[in-house]
Amino acid sequence: MKITIDDYFDLDKIIESGQTFRARKLDENLYRFISLDKILYISKIPDNATSDMVSSDIKDADSSNNSCRNATSASYEVSCDSNEWEGYWHNYFDLDRSYKDIPIYDDFTGKCYEVSKGIRILRQEPFEMLISFIISQRKSIPAIRTSIEEICIRFGTCKCTKKDEKLYLFPTPEQFLIDNDRLSECKLGYRLPYVQDAINKVNNEPSFLDEGFKMSDEDLLNHLITIKGVGVKVANCVALFAYNRVGLAPIDTWINKIIDTHYNGLSPFKKYGDVAGIIQQYMFFYALTHKDEF
DNA sequence: CTCCAGGGTTTGC
DNA sequence: GCAAACCATGGA
């Protein structure tokens, strides 16, 4: 099925932005996302094959110097049907929010925006985000991916598709209880008891994560921090990437470096108001792709 | 071999 | 209360 997205949307940046660890670029212009029991294959349809209006758009682009109206509109081929796209993935990619209109408050933010625009704040599954960001502490992004993959292989449901021989879903809380000892094979290091505590908490209190959707930002953070191994930073990541609390900005090592080098050691995120989390993600991606500057 | 990683908890003053 | 030490191990 073909869909059209009329906002900044960049699959490469989304996958490399450090908020999702299981999405993959399978081939040039073929991307795979997994969430709950859903698997999405998506690829961009080249601009010169989109519609009848293309020729006039090209004329506009040629004559008007980089300010063509449809610059952000693009079409994509997706593997799901219309119901699943509208009912699930549209919201997953946060497509009701206009990222074209994010206010830019200072020069460095503008610089990050230019590099990072196209990133979306995905609405991912809370349990997967909780476990993933507990694992993330003091680990590199490739190492996080490895641990999560080890977990999925051991505990998750196997889905066989045509494109992939075997693909494992992220396990449900109950699935972790089957053959629970194998959690120690997942390269978690000292985080093993933390992950175990989170699994136990969600199993003993099945509504624990759902309750978060009804809470204020502050209550949600305090709720998540009751889990051992979840501190302020991990709680902020879960709140941002699972509960879409875009006013919250997780402060990690890279953001701290930015605060030191560009903001005199004073966090600028309060002035970014209800889009602080999006700005934060733009800054994080900027830092990842410009490590030599820090 | 060495160094560091999208931090958090525990310990020592 | 607050800074410092400690944590386990994959990647590069």
Q: How far does Cα A178 stand from its chain's mean position?
A: 28
CA of A128 to C1' of B1 (A): 36
CA of A132 to C1' of B5 (A): 15
Nucleotide showing the shortest C1' distance to residue A190 CA: C8
Q: Strands of chain A (E only): list them.
A: 2-6, 24-27, 30-35, 38-45, 73-78, 158-159, 167-168
Residues pairing with A167 in the sheet: A159
* A212-257 residue pLDDT tens: 999 999 999 999 999 999 999 999 999 999 999 999 999 999 999 9
Residue A76: count other Cβ atoms within 10 Å of its Cβ.
18
CA of A10 to C1' of B5 (A): 26
* A112-130 residue pLDDT tens: 999 999 999 999 999 999 9
Burial (CB count within 10 angstroms: exposed 0-12, middle 13-18, buried 19+), residue A148: buried
Residues pairing with A45 in the sheet: A75
Which bases of strand C have any atom within 7 Å of the beta carbon of a protein residue?
A: 7-12
* A16-44 residue pLDDT tens: 999 999 999 999 999 999 999 999 999 99
Residue A291: count other Cβ atoms within 10 Å of its Cβ.
9
* Contact by Cβ (8 Å): A258, A222: no
Say yes or no: Cβ of A143 under 7 A from any atom of strand C: yes
CA of A170 to C1' of B8 (A): 24
Say yes or no: Cβ of A277 under 7 A from any atom of strand B: no
Say yes or no: Cβ of A138 under 7 A from any atom of strand B: yes
